[in-house]
Structure 1
Amino acid sequence: MTTKKTTRITVSFSENEYSALEAIARQQDASMSWVVRRAVSEYFEHHTEPKQEEMLLKSDKLKKAQ
């Protein structure tokens, strides 16, 4: 099994956003972290130019090789 190296960040949400994330996590039977990671992944899928996406993939491959 391969594991991806991750980097931790801190993010602040309004009370309404936090409550919405909690509700989604409960509905999905998932952690709030999973919901946020999924949202970021979906954002990248819909809002990155093909060149940016290619750069992200290359960066990920370089990190794996190290």
Structure 2
Amino acid sequence: PSAPSAPRVGDLIAREEASFRAQRTRSLELWRTAAEHIPGGVASSFQDKPPQPVFIDRGQGSRVWDVDG
């Protein structure tokens, strides 16, 4: 099988990133606020990757919940 074309891959990534952002509006809001005080809006560079960081609300055992539910 052949690999997908670069434009197709780019389109798929853009679509998935848009979906990710649409589902995480509170994390986006917190990231923007944090960026006013912390370079990149996060405490470590590995978290500053597209499309945006996810902010964790709580954890229990092996599970975590982000601020968007």
Indicate the TM-score class for this superposition, using the shorter chain for normalisation: 0.3 to 0.5
TM-score, normalised relative to structure 2: 0.31
Question: Which of the pair is proportionally richer in strand?
Answer: 2
Question: Which of the pair is proportionally richer in helix?
Answer: 1
TM-score, normalised relative to structure 1: 0.32
